[in-house]
Amino acid sequence: MSVSSVTQNSTTDDSYSAVNQVSAADDLLSNFMTLLVAQMQNQDPTNPMDNNQLTSQLAQFQTAAGIEKLNSTVAMNTGVVFSMHQNNAVNWIGRTVLVEGDTVVTITEDENPELAFSINSDVEKVKVTFTDDQGNVYVGEIQDVKKGINTYTMDDVTNFQPAEPEGGPFTVTYSATTAGGDAPDIVGLKSAEVESVDIKSGVAVLHLNGLNGTVMLGEIYQVQ
């Protein structure tokens, strides 16, 4: 397997920005003190600055400095979070994940692949449909299905009509009905290995081996 390195787009810029904002906060304090000393040295001796004026200026500076400090803190925290994303992203490479999609399988005596789907309700049974390239359809059932992610093999599928599928490849789809007659949300899941990871705007984007396109972390149903 060719393992690509994690791609980053903005680490240098984020770090540079955070350092600049910290420096700006220090400069703000230095400039304020210089101006305040100069103002006191050059004030009218007959009309010196009173305590209320001094307190007001200090309060204004504290507000400005607080905002600048907040900006620099946010920038530095963003850099830390970005670095954490990078480190965590590396751990995804080489892992097998389940994502939404119709599975294509080949069924032989020597091959009994593990399949999976996700359903949002408990149901008595799920119908599993196997369709080959010629449009031939084989329908089986999985009994007593619980809400959530379900994995199974062909040994768990019963009551095939018109016959049990052999050979393939087959595209696998699912349907079900609740006790109340409603159709629950049911999603076919396929497994794929994470080949590489990009970090875009602080978000990890996963490239999966053998599948076109990319997925976000939030689109992954399970890590195997």
Are 141 and 126 a contacting pair, CB within 8 Å? Answer: yes
pLDDT of 44: 54
How many residues does the structure list for the chain?
A: 224
**What is the pTM (predicted TM-score) of this model?**
0.60
pLDDT of 200: 78
pLDDT of 88: 63
Work out the number of other CB atoms within 10 angstroms of the CB of residue 117. 25
Residue 7: strand pairing partners:
198
pLDDT of 203: 76
Q: Give residue-wise pLDDT tens across range 150-179.
A: 999 999 999 999 999 988 899 999 999 988
pLDDT of 108: 81
- Supply φ then ψ for residue 136, to 5 degrees: -70, 135
pLDDT of 37: 60
What CATH number belongs to 97-191? 2.60.40.4070
Prior bond of 169 cis (ω within 30°): yes
Domain positions in the chain: 11-92, 97-191
pLDDT of 164: 92
Q: Give residue-wise pLDDT tens across range 73-104.
A: 445 444 444 454 555 667 888 999 999 988 89
pLDDT of 6: 43
pLDDT of 137: 97
> Which residues of the chain have a pLDDT value below 50?
1-19, 21-22, 46, 70, 73-74, 76-82, 84
pLDDT of 127: 97
